[in-house]
């Protein structure tokens, strides 16, 4: 559905005496996303994950130097096409909950997203109500302002906005950040449900543990580069099928992965 080929991005910064220099913030990034798949992009803070998301949506700041090729449904994703598809075929679940209008109730915000995607007003209101119910928000939450919602509820309102947009590609930027485990699992389940409907979900997170339960493939990013793309199933045991030392080290550093101990061996140990 989406192909990123050799995407390189430079953004300006200013050296002393206002001399403009260019910093390479994405270097030769390539990856593919398929319908019905959750593809996680995992990396530490500053790895370039959000810039990658913004490049896909055509939301990068100017001036910039960008090379490489983006294709969506086999057509080149030009700036004009990105403008046309944003909020329709391409949806963003942003990192910040400030994306919600503080003066507008949940259902109204979701119905606006449906409107933007082309639903007539009456349909949009109904679709918004159904989507919010689908993500387990009750009648009170539907009529609540953002400050009356918990972090997890507010994130599910953002997921509902992506849901009603009929987007084929959904980019979720750190959707699990700052949530308790129960709320986090609900949000991640909601994203997995979108993929089961045949949509492609690009899940951006700094925490591999949040990606593995729902992703089919994982791309690890570091300092603007893709280090490795692996099937989520490769993150098991001692991770010896992972191709790079970085991926293996990241996996083995997780506190609760029981690396090197298969479930059977663990059971025997307990016995
Ligand atoms: N507008 C900008 N101009 C110049 N540099 C930028 C700009 N936006 C981001 N950067 C730099 O690009 C790098 C990648 O930023 P990005 O926001 O994509 O990281 P990230 O992986 O999403 O991090 P986080 O998990 O903290 O959100 C960082 O070093 C950042 O300082």
For residue 56, the number of C-alpha atoms closer than 13 Å in the C-beta half-sphere is 30
CA–CA distance, 170 with 94 (Å, rounded to integer):
10
Give the mutation target among 10, 25, 175 for probing the ligand 1 site: most ligand atoms within 8 A of CB. Answer: 25
H/E stretch holding 219: strand 217-222
Beta bridge partners of 9: 26, 66
Which residues does a 6 A CB cutoff place in the pocket of ligand 1? Answer: 11, 25, 43, 45-51, 61, 206
Kind of pairing between the strands at 2-15 and 65-72: antiparallel
Q: pLDDT 10s digit of each residue in the chain, 271 long?
A: 999 999 999 999 988 888 889 999 999 999 999 999 999 999 999 999 999 999 999 999 999 999 999 999 999 999 999 999 998 899 999 988 899 999 999 999 999 999 988 888 889 999 999 999 988 899 999 999 999 999 889 999 998 998 898 899 999 999 888 778 888 888 899 899 999 999 999 999 999 999 999 999 999 999 999 999 999 999 998 888 999 999 999 998 888 776 544 444 333 333 3
Intra-chain end-to-end CA distance of the chain, in Å: 48
Q: Note the pLDDT of residue 198.
A: 93
Predicted pLDDT of residue 258: 60
pTM of the model: 0.88
Q: How far is CA 213 from the centre of its chain?
A: 14
- Looking at this predicted complex, what is its ipTM? 0.95
Q: Which atom of ligand 1 is nearest to the CA of 46?
A: 19
CA of 91 to the centre of ligand 1 (A): 20
Of 115, 179, 124, 192, which Cα lies nearest the Cα of 153?
179
32-60+79-253: CATH topology: Rossmann fold (3.40.50)
Residue of 11, 40, 48 with the most ligand 1 atoms within 8 Å of its CB, for mutation: 48
List the alpha helices (DSSP H) in the chain: 49-57, 79-85, 106-116, 121-134, 139-142, 151-164, 181-196, 208-211, 245-252, 263-270
């Amino acid at each position: 559905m989406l192909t990123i080929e050799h995407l390189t991005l430079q953004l300006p910064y200013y050296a002393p005496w206002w001399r403009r220099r260019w910093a390479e913030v994405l270097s030769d990034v390539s990856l593919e996303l398929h319908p019905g798949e959750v593809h996680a992009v995992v990396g530490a803070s500053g790895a370039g994950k959000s810039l990658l998301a913004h490049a896909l949506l055509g939301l990068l700041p100017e001036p910039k130097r960008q090379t490489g090729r983006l294709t969506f449904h086999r057509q080149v994703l030009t700036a004009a096409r990105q403008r046309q598809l944003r909020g329709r075929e391409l949806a963003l679940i942003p990192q910040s909950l400030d994306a919600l209008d503080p003066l507008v109730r949940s259902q109204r915000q979701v119905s606006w997203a449906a409107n933007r995607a082309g639903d007539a007003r009456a349909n949009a209101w109904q679709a918004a109500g159904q989507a919010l119910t689908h993500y387990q928000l009750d009648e009170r939450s539907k009529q609540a302002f953002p400050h009356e919602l918990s972090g997890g509820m507010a994130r599910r309102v953002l997921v509902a906005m992506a849901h009603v947009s009929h987007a084929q590609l959904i980019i979720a930027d750190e959707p699990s950040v700052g949530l308790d485990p129960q709320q986090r699992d609900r949000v991640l389940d909601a994203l997995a449900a979108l993929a089961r409907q045949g949509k492609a979900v690009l899940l951006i997170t700094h925490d591999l543990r949040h990606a593995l339960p729902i992703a089919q493939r994982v791309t690890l990013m570091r300092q603007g580069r893709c280090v490795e793309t692996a099937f989520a199933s490769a993150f098991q045991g001692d991770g010896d099928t992972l191709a790079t030392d970085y991926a293996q080290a990241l996996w083995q550093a997780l506190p609760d992965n029981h690396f090197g101990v298969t479930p059977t061996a663990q059971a025997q140990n307990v016995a």
